[in-house]
Structure 1
């Protein structure tokens, strides 16, 4: 996110949450919460709202109603992710050779969090890839959150709160962005997804399908249908195809399904050698029995 116009376009799509962020940042009698979770919406919207929150906490415009102005030096630097008191924990913070944030990387940040912000506002640490955070890293972060650190605010971004440790959720304010509108599903993929859900219930009539060797495009569309259904089940939007069928799984199994979908997508997208689509779908089907 590098321009005010792009930022505004994303924030306008989430006006309700933007209003709540203003209240938390500027109107809370006890000050901003130390930890905030933003779930739902799209990746771009979650990241835009996190930067919007950082701007609210650091904008220098004297007009309270104008915050964030997006034109003062702190606001501009936050949008460009070069602000001294913004830590955006992306791949640049990963250890060499690591594909995820490590425990040692979190520990290396603790001295910074133990210091006051460099400016007159707040130091905001954004974790944009909480979905990829291991249990060990989550527990290490939790230890940092358990000790109040004046002037520090943490923002965790995730598609669904079920991906986080319950203890992280319990120590955070959680705001849910409006879910993206689901596009009409591909009919063939919808039929396959429905068959997979039936297989979970009956244990029958699945493997004869995958012997026909579905191609990668069909497999990807099946995963998209299942992801949309998962979003519908979590948000109560039962008009989304198959959302009603997934809802009885309950929070724990839905989280398990969410993580399994991530692994299946990763396998299909692996380079230079993606996993055979039939094997990916068979693995996903059996993972939920």
Structure 2
């Protein structure tokens, strides 16, 4: 059996090195941002197995504990996946209720909140209380596309590791055409963007999602002051830190709208107009 973290570790070797070092003194809250959703989840599971496996070189990937972590059947692993829907305050309360009990095994209890941007405001504030008053034997892992889409106080109480993005050579030319059209639109309000989104049947959910994920990547680069693409350079040059965070929320709301069945062309138009508004305040 191939462990679910194998591909993520292979694609993100730098993060594995950091995680192995951190395992000597695990932070109470770890935030993994960047990369892809699958890579973030894979590395979150790697972290859980790394802290729980008792073999000489953990995680071995084949012992009982590693297999249980891989199957989300390990007693000291709590996995809540925001990609499956909003993370409600009741879910966070259930997690908080178990924090006072000791872990079942020799390692810590690992609570993974995948796609943590799905936390509502009330749920995020409830989680914040747990991070402000950490209890022994519990570690949290927050997974998100970028720190900008999370409550800033959650980020400030977490140790942040940023996954590498796919190499430029792996980018889809079709998506890059859409991003180029977006760059022209948010600069000038003109170009092919509205023509393409207005063409019947030209935009499906998969295409819209890929475009929005690419915009997320550009926002992360802009937020770090290390832009690598034309869109990231434009955003970094025209938006301050607060506006970058606002743009991140716009994009995340757009992605959530796709998840609940909104018209993908309308979603792309809405997101572009909102970002245009930030650039031209």
Q: TM-score range by the shorter chain?
A: 0.7 to 0.9
Q: Which residue of 1 aligns with 2:123?
A: 137
Q: Which residue of 2 aligns with 1:275?
A: 263
Q: Which one of 71, 89, 101 corresponds to residue 80 of structure 1? A: 71
Q: Which residue of 1 aligns with 2:273?
A: 286
Number of aligned positions between the proteins: 268
Q: Give TM-score scaled by structure 2 length.
A: 0.83
Matched-pair contact (CA < 8 Å) for 2:204–2:264 = no
By how many angstroms is 1:194 displaced? 2.2
2:209 and 2:77 mapped to 1: Cα distance? 35
Matches within 5 A, 1:124-273: 124-182=110-168, 183-186=171-174, 188-199=177-188, 204-205=189-190, 209-210=194-195, 213-218=198-203, 221=207, 224-225=210-211, 227-235=213-221, 238-248=227-237, 249-268=239-258, 270-271=260-261
Q: Give TM-score scaled by structure 1 length.
A: 0.81
Farther-moved stretch of structure 1 (182-191 vs 119-128): 182-191
Runs of 5+ unmatched residues, structure 1: none
CA separation of 1:51/1:270 partners in 2, compared to 1, >3 Å: closer, same or farther?
Answer: closer
1:12 and 1:211 mapped to 2: Cα distance? 37
Matched-pair contact (CA < 8 Å) for 2:35–2:145 = yes
Runs of 5+ unmatched residues, structure 2: none
Matched-pair contact (CA < 8 Å) for 1:238–1:244 = yes
Deviation by residue 1:58-116 (Cα, 9 ceiling, x = unmatched): 1111x2xx111122211111111100000001379x9xxxx412112211221211111
2:43 paired with 1:49: yes
Matched-pair contact (CA < 8 Å) for 1:34–1:152 = yes
Larger radius of gyration: 1
2:50 and 2:193 mapped to 1: Cα distance? 56
Deviation by residue 1:138-173 (Cα, 9 ceiling, x = unmatched): 110000111121110100000101111111111111
1:156 and 1:211 mapped to 2: Cα distance? 36
By how many angstroms is 1:229 displaced? 4.5
Matched-pair contact (CA < 8 Å) for 2:36–2:165 = yes
Root mean square deviation of aligned Cα: 2.8
1:212 and 1:74 mapped to 2: Cα distance? 49
Q: Which one of 19, 22, 29 corresponds to residue 20 of structure 2? A: 22
By how many angstroms is 1:181 displaced? 2.6
